[in-house]
Amino acid sequence: MAVQHFFFFFFFFKHISMALADVGTATAYGPPYLPTLCNGNSVAQFPPGNLFVAVNEGLWDNGAACGRRYRLRCLSGRNRPCKADIIEVQVVNLCPKSPCPSSFLMSKEAFTAISRLPNARLNVEYIEI
């Protein structure tokens, strides 16, 4: 019984928290990922599974975004690219392109975790965690 309650609350809080989320866009970017503005040439800055992002100027917050973590979910895109997964990503850089094509430039690994199409532009829901 306690196990059932645990799973219910885990599922409930994981999904209900997204109800308070913001909406933005996401695209993929590939290597080279180094150097970054957050931690230079250190490969230790990348989280397990390489689930990391570069963010646009609005989210960058003059560098305060370094290390921030976001829960992200694909909402929509052309040709129905979304997978049902919700992932957690970490900010490692400011978007290297100007103007930035999206709110989040996602590592290839992070992007393929939520999108079936490698070159899609996604509408995403995100919340800082």
Distance CA 17, CA 6 (A): 16
Token pair listed for 107:
């590592």
pLDDT at 9: 46
pLDDT digits (tens, 9 = 90+) for 64-76: 999 999 999 999 9
Cβ atoms 129, 71 nearer than 8 A: yes
- As beta bridge partners, residue 127 has 71
pTM: 0.84
108-114 mean pLDDT: 98
Task: Please say if the pLDDT value at position 88 is more than 90.
Answer: yes
pLDDT at 20: 78
SS (H, E, C) 7-66: HHHHHHHHHHHHHHCEEEEEEEECCCCCCECCCECCHHHCCHHHCEEEECHHHHHHHCCC
Fold for 22-128, please state it. Barwin-like endoglucanases (2.40.40)
Distance CA 94, CA 97 (A): 9
pLDDT digits (tens, 9 = 90+) for 27-50: 999 999 999 999 999 999 999 999
Token pair listed for 72:
């992200």
In terms of Cα–Cα distance, which of 64, 81, 67 is closest to 28? Answer: 81
- As beta bridge partners, residue 55 has 94, 104
